[in-house]
Amino acid sequence: MDFENALRSNIIDAAKSMSKGGTRFATFRKSFCNPKLWILTNKGGFLLRDEVSPARGVNDIFSNGEKYGFECAVAIVIVFYKGVLDTIGADKFNELFSNLLLFSWDADSDLGITTARVGARYAKPGDCLYFKNPDVNPEKTEWQGENVILLEEGRYYGHGLGIRDADGMIAALNKNRKKDATESAYLDDIVSYPDYDTLAQYAPSNLSRYRADSRFPESLITIRSRIGKRRTISV
């Protein structure tokens, strides 16, 4: 549990850092990135240049945020990568995540993301959850939902919406519903997280300083996916 606690803590820190780092929300069609480090693909993904290390590329998003705009699902992937980087260190990160492409969860499968429909009440800080907006305005489909990182004390970070509680996230999405909408946005039951078990193989020896934390109670979720393969489960 030491490694999982450490990574969850660093994911939370990465989400908070992104919230004030100057990055902007943008649809895939309008995404942009620092061209010195990344190549913008025709689908709106960010492909790391050959001469740039993965650690440098990820850190640049947090230190030069104004040079980046991306969609909320991409933000979650970046936050997960940053959390892993800050947990295992640059050398191991560069070894594991060469040829880095930031796009969708399917494209960024090397994190081993698992998605489980177990109920948001079982989520732990550092998990990704989803607020769904079923009556979204068809002219603003980018607000059909918001991927968020669960922080402490019932707060969430969502790219483009910042840090809010559940009511705040729902209120923001409800502003982007179609005319005569009848259904409110709501917190879905899906919980997503990286493959802690496999990533733990690359943990540094000094992780003993991370002890069991009451923020991270034992999870109902026990199924993990291997790095390089994304698995969806329902229990």
DSSP collapsed to 3 states, 149-216:
EECCCCEEEECCCEEEEHHHHHHHHHCCECCCCCCCCEECCEEEECCHHHHHHHCCHHHHHCCCCCCC
CB-CB contact of 198 with 63 (8 Å): no
The pTM of this model reads 0.87
Q: How much is the pLDDT for 147? A: 96
Q: How much is the pLDDT for 106? A: 60
Of residues 130, 214, 112, 202, the one with CA closest to residue 166 = 130
Q: How much is the pLDDT for 105? A: 67
Averaged over successive runs of 10 residues, the pLDDT of the chain (235 residues) comes to 92 98 94 98 94 98 97 95 97 93 74 90 95 96 96 95 97 96 96 94 72 42 34 31
CB-CB contact of 3 with 198 (8 Å): no
CB-CB contact of 156 with 169 (8 Å): yes
CB-CB contact of 177 with 136 (8 Å): yes
Q: How much is the pLDDT for 224? A: 35
H or E segment at 62? helix 54-63
CB-CB contact of 78 with 102 (8 Å): yes
Q: How much is the pLDDT for 108? A: 59
Of residues 179, 183, 170, the one with CA closest to residue 137 = 179
Q: How much is the pLDDT for 184? A: 97
